[in-house]
Every structure is written in C-alpha cells, then in structure tokens.
Amino acid sequence: MVQIYSKLPGIGPSIFSVMTQMANEHKAINLSQGFPDFDCAPELLELVKKSYESGYNQYAPMPGLLELREQIAAKVNRLHGADYHPDHEVTVTAGGTQAIFTAISAFVQANDEVIIFEPAYDCYAPAVKAMGGMVKYMPLNPPDFAIDWTQVQKLTNGNTRMIIINSPHNPTGMVWNEEDLQQLQKITRNTNILILSDEVYEHLIFDEKKHLSLAKYPELKERSLIVASFGKLFHTTGWKMGYCLAPEALMKEFRKIHQFMVFSVNTPMQHAIAEYLKEKENFEDLGILFQEKRDYFRKLISGSRFQLMDCHGSYFQLLSYQDISEEPDTDFAASLVKEHGVASIPVSAFYSKNTDHHLLRFCFAKKEATLEKAAVALMKV
C-alpha cells in the first residue's frame, strides 16, 4: 500500500462545508456559509450574457483583462488615493481565497513565521503550514476583540515573514481603526515583514465607520499585498472573482505562482465586470444595504435569550448563547440545526486551540423573509 505523508495532517472538510451539508440534510435555514440568497444587479447579468455571446470565451491574459485591471486601479485611486499600475501591480484572481493562498505560496518558505490574528478565516493557517511556515497566533477576545499591540510586538522577530490582517473582520465584524494602522506601521518599520491584507469586506462597513485600506498608507502599501473580492461586491460569490494589489516587485513574485495555479480566470465575467465598473463610481449603497440587514436581523431577535455582539462590518453577526447553554459551541450549533432548523458557524472553528467563548456566527446577507423565518426559530431557543 502506498504510504501517504500529508502536508496538513488532522485537517478535514472546512467548517463551512460541514455546516452547509448539515443544513441541507435537515432542511435548515443556512445562515452559516457567507453568501447572499438574493440576485446581483440585472444589468450585470446582461453584461455577462453579452460577453459570452460576443465570443469572449477563451483564455484571458494571465494577470487579467487590461480593461478590468484599469478599472480596478481607477477604483482604488478614487476611493483610497493610491496609485497601482494596471500592467504591473494588479492581478485578477479566482476569488479572494485563491489570492490569499497565492500570496502565501509566493513568499512564505520553510520555517518562516507568520502572525495571524484569531479568530481567523480558516484558509490562512493551512496555507502557511502547507508552505512549511510556522504560524504564530495572536488571540483576540470578546467582547471587543481589540488588538494588544504590545503582545504583537513580542511575537515578531527576525524570522517573521508576514502578518495577515483582515478588516472588516470575519467572523467578529470588528473594524480596524487609525491607531491599529499606526501600530502596525511602527512594528513593521525597518523590517522585511510583509503584510497580507484581506479586505474582501471593504465596502460592507457600518455606523459611519471608515474602511482604512493599507493602500492609503504609503509606508504600509510598499510591503503589502491587498486582497479584494467581486463576489462580496456584487453578491456573486459563486463566480469566484477577486483581485490582488501589490507593488511591482511583490506582484512579480505573486504572478509566478498565479500563472501555474490557475493561469487566468473567467473571461466573459471579466469583460462584464470591467464594463459594469465604468458606471459604478462609489459603493456607499452596499454599506447602507447591509447595515439595514444587520439592523433588521438584530431587531428581529432582540427579545431572544441570545446576546448580540457588536458588529461594525462584514455580513456576519455574532451571538452569545452563554445564558442558554454550557454546551461546546460545536454541539450547540449542531443542536440548533437539528432541533430548531437554523445553521450557524461555531466560532471556535476560527481558533487554533480549543477556544470556546460560546459564540455562533450568523450570516445576515439574506432576504428579509429568510431572516424573519430564522428569527422565529431563534426566538424559541
């Protein structure tokens, strides 16, 4: 029998796959996996149809269509005042997760150390480990999930290759502030540390807070790879369309991996998105839309036994069930599906160790009718 040496021993299906399968099996309302249950703009669908009917069905250029890269660069300049050259500093990717994996693959080598703030999106650490890197975890704790920058400084040393950040943050909804960015700048100054900034929820931000992209800060920009998502932008997560921004020297290495990982991504959709972006000057409507959904969901369950945690961005709401049960969050999440017909994500899945704060993550990027049906069930818990 062939002996197999796993690069990721102990890693099974992601919690998102597990909970979605459980939701399907029990015909539960799926507020676990982060995707909208409503359609994108009809104009965008028409542009996709126009693209494939026009014959744009073969390989796109490896870094993405120039027209789309130009629109991305214009968008970033307009919103953040940052310049990225479309030819050398913008690459279109098969979603945000591919961009993240590619960035880690391009720069993390054996025994390099990577700092991750957790709870963290579950693709970060496995990608680092698959490259032979070592993960250093910086835990963030409820209720505010604030960053202790003194502890972050203690984690850094000459082997630190990368710091991975995510704002607005999945799963907590926390948003980085000016002080956080100043501290990050101070810690990385005069080092060889790279920053991977996961900004896929950049436009889903609430309560008059501002998204502080690393593109805004010249000193951070020069060492950063910034990842964004058209799936989050246009309610089209299944299209798996995203992009990465980085200075030319970093992007050159990024593309070396990208070309052998996927080479290029969906051509007709690139044409459609490029055309659609020409008419889209700002994205303030997204923040308004999802704040309304957040507020509606919170209002619907305000009389329940769950405790609402603060949420200033993303499309996820954390609920504490500490007044309901002492069960581990994985068990409580499973019983919520089986007994009440609502699927969520246990937040312990976003931690490396057995960290259980009795929190569940719910996606509110849903139609009002979906949220109402889920709320009726949650009110009975």
Q: Could you say which of 232, 256, 277 is where a domain stops? A: 277
Q: Could you say which of 262, 277, 292 is where a domain stops? A: 277
Please write the tens of the pLDDT for every residue from 232-276. Answer: 999 999 999 999 999 999 999 999 999 999 999 999 999 999 999
Asked whether residue 80 falls in the same domain as residue 217, the answer is yes
In a domain, 163, yes or no: yes
Looking up residue 135, the CATH number of its domain turns out to be: 3.40.640.10
CA distance 91 to 63: 5
Number of folded domains in the chain? Answer: 2
pLDDT at 281 over 80: no
pLDDT band per the 50, 70, 90 thresholds, residue 354: confident
Asked whether residue 228 falls in the same domain as residue 195, the answer is yes
The answer to pTM > 0.85 is yes
Say how many CA atoms lie within 13 Å of 109 toward its Cβ: 1
CA distance 346 to 48: 36
CA distance 162 to 198: 13
DSSP letters of 134-183? EEEEEE--TTT----HHHHHHH--TTEEEEEEESSPTTT-----HHHHHH
pLDDT band per the 50, 70, 90 thresholds, residue 282: confident
Asked whether residue 133 falls in the same domain as residue 266, the answer is yes
Please write the tens of the pLDDT for every residue from 180-232. Answer: 999 999 999 999 999 999 999 999 999 999 999 999 999 999 999 999 999 99
DSSP letters of 4-25? ---SSTT--S-HHHHHHHHHHH
In a domain, 51, yes or no: yes
Asked whether residue 273 falls in the same domain as residue 222, the answer is yes
Asked whether residue 271 falls in the same domain as residue 372, the answer is no
| Residues spanned by the domain of 25 | 15-40+283-379
CA distance 281 to 134: 41
CA distance 236 to 16: 17
Asked whether residue 354 falls in the same domain as residue 262, the answer is no
Rounded to the nearest 5°, which phi and psi values hold at 33? -70, 140
Q: 80-95 burial, b if ≥16 CB within 10 A, otherwise e? A: bebebebebbbbbbbb
Please write the tens of the pLDDT for every residue from 48-61. Answer: 999 999 999 999 99
pLDDT at 290 over 90: yes
Asked whether residue 295 falls in the same domain as residue 204, the answer is no
